[in-house]
Each structure stands twice: as C-alpha cells, then as structure tokens.
Amino acid sequence: MKHRKALSKPFLAVSFLLLCVFVFVWDGAQAAGSSMPLLQDAGGYRPFPIEGISSRVAMWVVAELHLMFAAFVLAVPLFALIIEFIGYKTGDRRYDELAYEFTKLLSVSFSFTATLGALLTFGLIVLYPKLTEYLMSIFSWTFFPYVLLFFLEAIFLYSYYYGWGKMNPKVHLLLGVLLNLTGTAIMFIADAWLTFMNTPAGIDEAGNLVSLWGAINNYTWMPINIHRLIANVAFGGSIAAAYGAYKFLGARTEAEKAHYDWMGYVGNFIAISALLPLPFAGYWLGREIYAFSQTLGITLMGGTFSWLFIIQAVLIGNLFLAANYYLWLGMERIPGSERYRKFIKYLLASITACFIVWATPHSLVATVEEARQMGGAHHPVLGVLGVMSAKNTAVNILILTTFISFLLYRRSNKEATVSWAKAGKTAQFAIFAVVVGIVVFLGVYGYFVEATVRIGLSVPQVLSVLFAMVSVTIIDIFLFRDAKITGPIQWGKMPNRAQYALFFIAITFAWTMGLMGYVRAGMRQHWHVYGVLEDTSPDAFTPTLGFASNVISVTVLIFFTFIAIVFWITGLSGRKAWVARPDVPPEDETAQALPGDGDAQPAKQPAWEGAAS
C-alpha cells in the first residue's frame, strides 16, 4: 500500500502540528485562567485566553487577514470581468479561459473571507464589548443591508462561477457586473465603520448618534473607499500574477509555461496599472486626515509614524523597481526588443534617483557628532529631499518612468508604418519632456510658497502626468495600428527569476497593506473612536514600530500560507481522477472502493505524480 504510506506521512505531520497547537492553546488558557478569569468583563474588555498574546494583537492579526482576503475577493471579480469582456469582444478564447481561471480562485477565498469576518466579529464582541456596543449604537441600521448584500454576493459569485460557459455571455457578464457592484457596496459599508473610528462625525458631544448619513459620510470615508478600490485591484492583480508564477514554475509542458507566463503578465499588468494612480489616492486620504485634525496629520506624517512611511517608501520603491524589472526581462521574449535594451540603464537611473529621494527621511537618525556637523537636526540637502514637494516630484517621475518601460515593452516587436511615424514619436517625446519639466518646476516652486499652496501644487503635477499617459497612449495606438510585426511574443520563454519578481511584488503589496493598515488604526493612539471613546484597556498604548513590523510580517506569512492552501485546493480541480495502480493488487475492500470515478482510465503512473497542473 504505497499510496497509503505516502499519505500517512503528511497526515502524521498535520496531526502532530494540530496536537501541538491544542496543547499550546490549552496551556495558555490554563495559564491565563490562573491569573484572570477567562470571561471577566473588566471595564468593557476581556483578555485573550492565551498568555503572551494580547486581545489587541489577536484582533489585529484576524482583522488584517480578513482585510487581505476581502481585498482579494473584491479585486479578482473586477478584473475577471474586464478580461471576460475583452474575450467576449475580441472572440479570443484565451481571455475567457484566463478569466475563468482567475474566478476559480474565488470560491475558496470567499469562504476564507467570510470565516475570518465572522471570527473578527466574534472577537470584537467577546474581547471588546464596550467598543462593539458603541459601534452598534451608531451603525446598527447598516448591518441589515450589509448582510443582505452578502447574500446577494454569494448568489452572484456562485452563479458567476458555476454558470461559466453555460449561460448567454451577456447574461453572464451582467452577473459579473452585479457581483462587482455588491462587493463594492459591502466594502463601502465596512469602510464607514472603520473610518468613523478615525474621523468620527454625525454625533453630538456626548457621542450619541445625530445623523447616520453624517457618521457614514465622515471625512475619510470616500478617500478610503477610492483608495481601497484601487489598492484592492493592485493587490488582487499581484496575487493572481503570483498564482501564474507558481503555476509557471511547476509547468511541465511548453504550452503550460506559455499560458502561465501570459497569466502572470496579465495579473502583473493589472496590478501595476492600478499601482500608478494609487499614490494620488493615498495623498488625497492624507490631506483629508490633516484637514480633519492636524494632530492626526502630524501623528501620521511628522511624528510617531513618520518612519513607517520611510519603510513604506522603500517597499513601494521596490515595487516599482520589481515591476520595471519584470517588464525588462519580459522584453527578452519579444523579437525586435534588442533595439530598446540600451534605454534600460537610463530608466534604471531615473528609478534609482526617484527611489532615493522618496526614501529620504525627514527625521534623520544621526549621532551627536553628525548632527553637529550638520548644524542641527536638519541636513541642508536632505532637508530639501525629505519634504512632500520632493516626494511628490519623485513619485510622479517614477510613475512616468514605469509608463515608459511599459511603452517600450509594448512596441518591442512593432515597427510603425504610418507616414507620420517620426512626427508621432517626436510628439510623444515632446509631451514627456514638457510634463517632466512641469513636474520638476512645480516641485521646486513648492519650496518658495506657503504650505497650503504647496499642497495644492500636487494637483497640476498629477494632472500633467495623467495627461502625458493618456495622450501618449492615444498617439501610440494610432502610431502602431498597422505596424510591421517583427515576431510574435514567445510566451513561456521567460527566465524563472521573473516569476520570483512576481512573488516579490505580491508579498510587498501585502506587507505594505499591513503596514499602512497599522498606521491608519494606530494614529488614533489611545482612542477606539478618536476623541469620543477612549481605549482604557491595558493595550492602550502605541506599540513600537519594531513590534508592529513583526506582527505584520507574521500576518503576511500566515496570509500567504492560506493563499498557498487556496492555490492548492484550486489546483485540485484540474487534476486527473485518482485511480489505483493497476500493477499493485488491492489488499482490502476499502482500497478497491477508492477509485470513485468510474470513467477514469487507469494511469500508467500514480495520478498525483503525473498531474500536469
């Protein structure tokens, strides 16, 4: 019974792990119980029953995991729908299959999301009854549409998934639209609860509800809705790209490699497309926070959490670098791209310079001696780079550079044949040059005007970058309409390190989300609801950045373990049915009964070894 032996090892390992977890939890519960009754309500709080893990950390991890899965299940339908629509319009079956493959990831993820959401709710009720009761007093009427929308989402999701290829394509697309609308509405409602905690509104001085709509439409509600919507697409795209990379690395045939290379590319393309406008949405959110309260604004950007923004800048700088890196490697599989490779060094120089500016901190870590040489806490050069004018300029140039990388990638195997090709390219170059000039000029000008004007300058900077991206794309479409193709893209001819770049991008997205989620919640400091409901629990302090980073890193690790499980379960559907080895006679009746699929043909090798997926 070789297959039984093979199965018994992981079974034993899992059993052992479960036993360890049980002993750990039991021991913790006993230890906590010895010092504090398990369910004693101490001023509206209850301790977590495992010693060494506080209620806050427990809720933190669960909330973060729930958020990450929620982001994924919201984003995947969005781009699955877009891809399906492209497939419908072009008649290219590849798009339809790709959209279906993305959708396959959803059903398991949806269950994970719902389970984690339930765990979060139970945790809040049990561990933070005072806070839960208060939030219920404000938002109780929003719970009903929330639950109703969940029902609808489940109906739309499963009918969208199971109805694939079995419905009129228009009806199926409509289902996809409805699925996305319900998902987005669910997110909007949940966002009202969490933004209310940061920037409460619609209440009187005693904290009683005056206007439900006022509480929902608080200062940061819409900025977070928009920011999350974009971020979820970026995050979901990166996870889907990671899935493509995972399948690419395990692919056994050239056809599979080509397919998953393409899938990784599409996922990454969506992720990076959404990443480009994300800093602008984040900036709007930051402005609203500052407008609501300078205390919150300064806590966020100038005070306790400012170093987390440096970590964030490093992570996002890495994201841009990895995204460009993937495009440059991708050019190698396109015949004719050789003529553009010489530009890589200039693009890289631009990215590195912007990365350096973006990561330069305002508050320097320096020895006394270094500070004396600088003449104070500020360095005259770094001080210039450490403020928003420089950061905005850097991020805008970074976005433009990434856009140029994509443009070069796109035209790698194309040679324009239109009569105005030279003029078109010159116009594109001129647009870039003028926009870079505007962005840099406004960035420098920002140092000579007062703060409110300086903040306002970010708007024309952003608009000019968007103008460049849109206008250059439009010219590009017409420029390469009847282009001479130097050769088809050789999907699958991609080095493995490009796939690791996709993993890196997905992990970095998750990490950044975790860090920024911590900042958003942490800036309230010792308040549950800022200025209204004080946190009087033993955890009412701001954890150190090191501790927070550790919690977030562990959470990201757990998330990717769960995602690996999702990938694995999803991959099972593509495997061949299990059959017993024909050359090994079954030893008992149970083994004979195992091959449940009567249609399956006996394989020459064990199905799990020959599985191509």
Partner 1 sequence: MNLLVFAAVLAAMLAVRFFLKNLHILVWLALWWVALFVVFKYGIEPPLPASIVNMFMAIVTLALLAYLSATTSYLRQATEAVVRFMVDRRFTVPLVVVLLTVPALVAWQVYAERTARPTPPVSGRTIHPPPPNTISFKGKTIDLVNGENPYRALETSDPEAFAAHVENGRRIYYENCVFCHGDNMEGDGLFAHGYDPLPANFNDPTTIAMLQETYLFWRIAKGGPGLPSESTPWASAMPAWENFLTEEEIWDVILFLYDYTGFRPRAREEIH
Residues numbered 85 to 114 that lie near partner 1 (CB under 8 A) are: none
Which residue from 34, 168, 208, 452 is in contact with partner 1, where contact means CB under 8 A?
452
Smallest distance, partner 1 to C-beta of residue 346, A: 11
CA torsion, ordered 272, 274, 279, 282, to nearest 10 deg: -140
Which residue from 365, 546, 583, 585 is in contact with partner 1, where contact means CB under 8 A?
365
Q: Is 373 exposed, middle or buried (0-12, 13-18, 19+ CB in 10 A)?
A: exposed
Which residue from 107, 225, 312, 360 is in contact with partner 1, where contact means CB under 8 A?
360
Which residue from 387, 475, 483, 611 is in contact with partner 1, where contact means CB under 8 A?
387
Contact of 123 with 62, CB cutoff 8 Å: yes
Which residues in 248-267 contact partner 1 (CB under 8 A)? Answer: none
Based on CB atoms, which residue is closest to partner 1, 231 or 357?
A: 357
Name the segment binding partner 1 (CB under 8 A); options: 109-117, 144-152, 445-453, 599-607: 445-453
Which residue from 34, 35, 40, 367 is in contact with partner 1, where contact means CB under 8 A?
367
Name the segment binding partner 1 (CB under 8 A); options: 78-86, 117-125, 359-367, 407-415: 359-367
Based on CB atoms, which residue is closest to partner 1, 429 or 447?
A: 447
Based on CB atoms, which residue is closest to partner 1, 323 or 435?
A: 323
Which residue from 87, 277, 386, 517 is in contact with partner 1, where contact means CB under 8 A?
386
Contact of 224 with 516, CB cutoff 8 Å: no
When asked if residue 484 is in the footprint of partner 1 (CB under 8 A), the reply is no
| Binding footprint of partner 1, residue count (CB under 8 A) | 72
CA angle 360, 363, 369 (to 5 degrees): 100
Smallest distance, partner 1 to C-beta of residue 399, A: 17
When asked if residue 572 is in the footprint of partner 1 (CB under 8 A), the reply is no
Q: Rounded to whole angstroms, how far apart are CA atoms 410 and 418?
A: 17
Name the segment binding partner 1 (CB under 8 A); options: 6-14, 271-279, 370-378, 406-414: 370-378
When asked if residue 496 is in the footprint of partner 1 (CB under 8 A), the reply is no
Based on CB atoms, which residue is closest to partner 1, 508 or 570?
A: 508
Q: Which helix (H) or strand (E) holds 272?
A: helix 254-275
Rounded CA Rg of the chain: 27
Q: Rounded to whole angstroms, how far apart are CA atoms 511 and 513?
A: 5
Smallest distance, partner 1 to C-beta of residue 400, A: 17
Pattern 52-91, binding to partner 1, x per CB under 8 A? ----------------------------------------
Which residues in 535-554 contact partner 1 (CB under 8 A)? Answer: 541-542
Q: Which of 44, 54, 36 is nearest to 535 (CA)?
A: 44
Beta strands per DSSP E along 500-594: 527-529, 533-534
Q: Rounded to whole angstroms, how far apart are CA atoms 213 and 201?
A: 9
Based on CB atoms, which residue is closest to partner 1, 85 or 290?
A: 290
Based on CB atoms, which residue is closest to partner 1, 212 or 314?
A: 314
Pattern 136-175, binding to partner 1, x per CB under 8 A? ----------------------------------------
Length of the chain: 613
Instruction: Report phi then psi at 484, rounded to 5.
Output: -80, 130
Which residue from 115, 363, 550, 592 is in contact with partner 1, where contact means CB under 8 A?
363
CA torsion, ordered 60, 61, 64, 66, to nearest 10 deg: -120
Which residue from 379, 414, 524, 528 is in contact with partner 1, where contact means CB under 8 A?
379
Q: Rounded to whole angstroms, how far apart are CA atoms 118 and 65?
A: 12
Which residues in 209-228 contact partner 1 (CB under 8 A)? Answer: 219
Contact of 83 with 95, CB cutoff 8 Å: yes
Q: Rounded to whole angstroms, how far apart are CA atoms 22 and 37?
A: 20
Q: Which of 105, 247, 96 is nearest to 613 (CA)?
A: 247
When asked if residue 348 is in the footprint of partner 1 (CB under 8 A), the reply is yes
Name the segment binding partner 1 (CB under 8 A); options: 113-121, 126-134, 447-455, 477-485: 447-455
Name the segment binding partner 1 (CB under 8 A); options: 240-248, 344-352, 392-400, 476-484: 344-352
Smallest distance, partner 1 to C-beta of residue 64, A: 22
Six token digits for residue 101: 């493959």
CA torsion through residues 164, 167, 168, 174, sign: negative
Which residues in 318-337 contact partner 1 (CB under 8 A)? Answer: 318, 321, 325, 328-329, 332
CA 394 vs CA 260, 282, 311: distances in Å: 34, 15, 16
Smallest distance, partner 1 to C-beta of residue 540, A: 11
When asked if residue 451 is in the footprint of partner 1 (CB under 8 A), the reply is yes
When asked if residue 574 is in the footprint of partner 1 (CB under 8 A), the reply is no
Q: Rounded to whole angstroms, how far apart are CA atoms 330 and 412?
A: 10
Q: Rounded to whole angstroms, how far apart are CA atoms 493 and 516?
A: 36
Based on CB atoms, which residue is closest to partner 1, 132 or 217?
A: 217
Q: Rounded to whole angstroms, how far apart are CA atoms 93 and 87?
A: 6
Smallest distance, partner 1 to C-beta of residue 320, A: 11
Q: Which residues contact 340 (CB under 8 A, 6 or more apart)?
A: 331, 408, 411, 412
Q: Rounded to whole angstroms, how far apart are CA atoms 484 and 491?
A: 19
Which residues in 402-441 contact partner 1 (CB under 8 A)? Answer: none
Six token digits for residue 280: 């602008």
Q: Which of 157, 202, 211, 205 is nearest to 179 (CA)?
A: 157
Six token digits for residue 84: 């399906």
- Residue the block writes with tokens 């010219």: 475
Smallest distance, partner 1 to C-beta of residue 426, A: 28
When asked if residue 351 is in the footprint of partner 1 (CB under 8 A), the reply is yes
Smallest distance, partner 1 to C-beta of residue 226, A: 14
Six token digits for residue 87: 């497939």
Pattern 273-312, binding to partner 1, x per CB under 8 A? --------------xx-xxxxxxx-xx--xxx-xx-----
Based on CB atoms, which residue is closest to partner 1, 367 or 590?
A: 367
